[in-house]
């Protein structure tokens, strides 16, 4: 088919994309080699997509031509071409795929890296999925000629990466029979990528294990030679593979630039047969806590890519990258029907259990390596304590915590329970927003005085999983900021004075404060928790934990806020002095009661209920003290 010459249509990039291109070229990358990996990965994905679509439409792949990726070098013209015979693109595909970044989180990417020193690290490319646009790190101009499989139309996309691109039809004789050809007009400082040695070594390092053979032509008129065989790494015996093989595959397949912190490679046999190659990354993806973020395990059936949306692992393992290749699932049904297959349900269960089992083995045999994983992904794994009741025991054994007695070290629940104090029948915890603030909580004072270790839980998910009636080795979890502390049966540490009975004067002041504060509190009582502070707030025995209540309120999902309990330290010097005020000083006693309540709110991270009233009372008390 001959296409009449048509003027190319100039279109602007989406605004975010234009900014992204500028960032990439000027500040993001210190290692430009990654462009090879991104473009070759795109080519391999295009072949896999065609392989799948051809299952239901054989006309898309006439003949027996095998999939391949061809890299052609032209050192004299400073050009580099990467061509595949995969699915190809239509005009609409070109505009959508290369004129926008539909699913890459561009805005979040730019917000994180713009002006940041860490933006200089090349590892960002895999975390943000900027893919094709990495070509502009090395090219002044990028040209894409493509023809979708089964179509009689071909298109050319061209851009210099400065804000616009053009699309125009081309004669099919200038395009691949099917697939995509990407030509990079290299910058002067990137011309070495057209050198045969540099190109071959970079491709082998970045993309040596993609599941499509790669051929290299050192010059446009040279004979091509194969530099990667496209063998499926996951089908090869583990004994044949080296750690660097796994690392190269992980970087290419998963789009990461770090190293895997843990590699799982095994074949399951029995009722269902499947191979698994999965990796726990070393670094945290930027969108780890994105509510729409799904898992990153791809599903293959007999080496045919099926989908990356099968949700093979539960959401709390969404940081795991890799694939599952099944020998049992049917190829001739829709992706939706595959997801409903009993065989896939069995695979999901088996893979999830194996991942948790491998993490447990690592925690037991190489605790230092495991702690690095927990430090990175612990907040996500803890989501499973809330969501996955059936695996809660396994997840509790994997969990690690900072505690009031562990300093900066992580501690397991097994270690915690082994060191319970005599008379201690619960696992105590404090939930908050950060470790420093938790450590300064007045509610911890009585526990420290008795040498009781308290779990410090600073992650948002902690407020949810601890409220589910959870226990470990028969010991329930109990908040230090909820209900009565019930510390009387646990001895104080040596050197700590025992709790004294509440004097009549102090008891009278506590009752007075309860009357003055009225509906602002549900109760005012003497505290077993406090040692140094005068007051603190806690939740009622049957009320919602205060941190959870705040989280729900910030999300607009909280019920009517509960009234806190004000606990007063009956041994504190200030409380004792206030208790000795005469009845003629009622106004001062009232101001003191309100100020104590406001002090407790401030210590709990909240503002006084009545800021103007707080200011007036403080002024009156200071005036009296100064007089």
Residue 627 to residues 267, 410, 417, 585, 620, Cα–Cα distance (Å) = 83, 52, 55, 15, 11
Nearest to 344 by CA among 358, 359, 330: 330
Alpha-carbon span 181 to 230, nearest angstrom: 19
Contacts of residue 407, defined as CB under 8 A and 6 or more positions apart, other chains included, come to: none
Whose CA is closest to 69, among 114, 36, 105? 36
Dist CA 53 CA 47 (whole Å): 10
Nearest of 428, 434, 430 to residue 459 by alpha carbon: 434
Please classify residue 46 by burial: count the beta carbons closer than 10 Å to its beta carbon, then call 0-12 exposed, 13-18 middle and 19+ buried.
buried
The answer to whether 274 and 267 are in contact (CB under 8 A) is yes
Strands 400-403 and 321-326: unpaired
Among 99, 184, 97, 79, which residue's Cα sits nearest to residue 141?
184
> Are 521 and 565 contacting, i.e. CB atoms less than 8 angstroms apart?
yes
Per-residue DSSP letter, 240 = G
146 is in an annotated binding site: no
Q: Which two tokens stand for residue 145?
A: 């000629």
DSSP 27: I
Q: Is 105 labeled as ligand-binding? A: yes
Which residues contact residue 541 at a Cβ distance below 8 angstroms, ignoring those fewer than 6 apart?
482, 483, 484
- The DSSP string of 478-525 is EETTBS----TTSPPPTTPPPPPPPPHHHHHHHHHHHHHHGGG-SEEE
Report whether 127 belongs to an annotated binding site: yes
Residue 81 neighbours by CB distance under 10 Å: 18
User: CA-CA distances (angstroms) from residue 288 to 262, 377, 446?
Assistant: 18, 9, 37
Residue 130, marked binder: yes
As a whole number of angstroms, the distance between CA 97 and CA 102 comes to 8
Instruction: Please report, for residues 108, 125, 157, 165, the alpha-carbon distance to residue 16 in angstroms, rounded to integers and kept in the order given.
Output: 10, 16, 19, 14
Q: Residue 73: beta bridge partners?
A: 80
Please check if 235 is assigned to a binding site: no
d(CA 504, CA 517): 20
- DSSP E strands, 337-377: none
For residue 557, CA distances in Å to 539, 550, 560 come to: 18, 10, 10
Q: For tokens 């909240």, what's the residue?
A: 606
Distance CA 529, CA 488 (A): 10
Is 129 labelled as part of a ligand binding site?
yes
Q: Which pair of structure tokens corresponds to residue 552? A: 């729900």
Is-contact 262 279, C-beta < 8 A? yes
Q: Does the annotation flag 128 for ligand binding?
A: yes
The answer to whether the CB of 591 falls within 8 A of the CB of 523 is: no
Q: Where are the alpha helices (DSSP H) in 502-610?
A: 504-517, 546-554, 573-579, 586-603
For the chain, how many helices (H) and strands (E)? 21, 23
Would the annotation count 180 as a binding residue?
yes
Is residue 289 a known part of a binding site?
Answer: no
377 is in an annotated binding site: no
Structure tokens at 46: 């295009």
8 three-class SS? coil
Residue 328 structure tokens = 């049992």
Residue ranges at the known binding site for ATP: 38, 42, 84, 89, 104-105, 127-132, 180, 335
Residue ranges at the known binding site: 38, 42, 84, 89, 104-105, 127-132, 180, 335
């Amino acid at each position: 088919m001959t296409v009449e010459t048509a003027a190319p249509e100039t279109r602007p990039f989406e605004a975010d994309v234009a900014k992204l291109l500028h960032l990439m070229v000027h500040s993001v990358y210190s290692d430009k080699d990654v462009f090879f990996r991104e473009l070759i990965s795109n080519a391999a994905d295009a072949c896999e997509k065609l392989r799948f679509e051809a299952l239901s439409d054989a006309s898309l792949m006439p003949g027996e031509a095998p999939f391949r990726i061809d890299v052609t070098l032209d050192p004299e013209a400073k050009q580099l071409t990467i061509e595949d015979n995969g699915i190809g693109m239509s005009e609409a595909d070109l505009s959508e795929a290369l004129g926008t970044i539909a699913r890459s989180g561009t805005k979040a990417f730019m917000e994180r890296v713009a002006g940041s020193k860490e933006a200089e690290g090349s590892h960002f490319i895999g975390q943000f999925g900027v893919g094709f646009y990495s070509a502009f790190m090395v090219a002044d101009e990028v040209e894409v000629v493509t023809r979708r499989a089964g179509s009689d139309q071909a298109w050319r996309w061209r851009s210099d990466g400065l804000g616009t691109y053009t699309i125009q039809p081309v004669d099919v004789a200038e395009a691949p029979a099917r697939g995509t050809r990407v030509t990079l007009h290299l910058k002067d400082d990137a011309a070495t990528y057209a050198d045969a040695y540099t190109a071959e070594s970079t491709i082998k390092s970045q993309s040596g294990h993609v599941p499509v053979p790669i051929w290299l032509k050192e010059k446009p008129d040279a004979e091509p030679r194969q530099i990667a065989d496209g063998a499926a790494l996951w089908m090869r015996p583990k004994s044949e593979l080296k750690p660097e093989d796994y690392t190269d595959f992980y970087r290419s397949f998963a789009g990461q630039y770090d190293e895997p912190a843990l590699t799982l490679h095994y074949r399951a046999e029995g009722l269902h047969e499947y191979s698994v190659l999965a990796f726990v990354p070393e670094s945290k993806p930027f969108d780890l806590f994105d509510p729409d973020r799904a898992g990153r395990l791809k599903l293959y059936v007999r080496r045919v890519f099926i989908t990356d949306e099968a949700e093979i692992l539960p959401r709390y393992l969404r940081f795991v990258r890799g694939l599952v290749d099944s020998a049992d699932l049917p190829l001739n049904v829709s992706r939706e029907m595959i997801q409903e297959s009993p065989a896939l349900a069995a695979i999901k269960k088996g893979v999830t259990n194996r991942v948790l089992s491998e993490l447990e083995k690592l925690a037991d045999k190489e605790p230092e390596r495991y702690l690095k994983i927990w430090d990175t992904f612990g907040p996500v794994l803890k989501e499973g304590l809330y969501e996955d009741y059936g695996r809660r025991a396994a997840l509790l054994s994997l969990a690690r915590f900072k505690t009031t007695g562990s300093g900066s070290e992580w501690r397991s629940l097994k270690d915690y329970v082994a060191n319970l104090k005599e008379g201690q029948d619960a696992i105590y915890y404090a939930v908050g927003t950060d470790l420093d603030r938790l450590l300064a909580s007045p509610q911890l004072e009585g526990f420290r005085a008795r040498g009781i270790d308290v779990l410090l839980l600073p992650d948002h998910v902690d407020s949810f999983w601890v409220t589910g009636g959870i226990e470990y080795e028969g010991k329930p979890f109990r908040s230090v900021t909820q209900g009565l502390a019930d510390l009387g049966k646990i001895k104080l540490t040596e050197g700590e004075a025992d709790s004294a009975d509440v004097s009549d004067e102090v008891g009278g002041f506590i009752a007075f404060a309860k009357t003055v504060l009225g509906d602002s509190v549900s109760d005012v009582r003497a505290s077993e928790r406090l040692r140094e502070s005068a007051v603190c707030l806690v939740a009622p025995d049957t009320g919602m934990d205060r941190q959870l209540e705040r989280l729900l309120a910030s999300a607009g999902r909280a019920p009517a806020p509960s009234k806190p309990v004000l606990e007063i330290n009956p041994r504190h010097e200030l409380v004792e002095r206030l208790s000795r005020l005469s009845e003629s000083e009622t106004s001062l006693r009232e101001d003191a009661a309100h100020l104590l309540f406001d002090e407790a709110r401030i210590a709990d991270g909240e503002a006084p209920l009545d800021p103007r009233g707080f200011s007036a009372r403080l002024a009156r008390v200071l005036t009296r003290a100064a007089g």
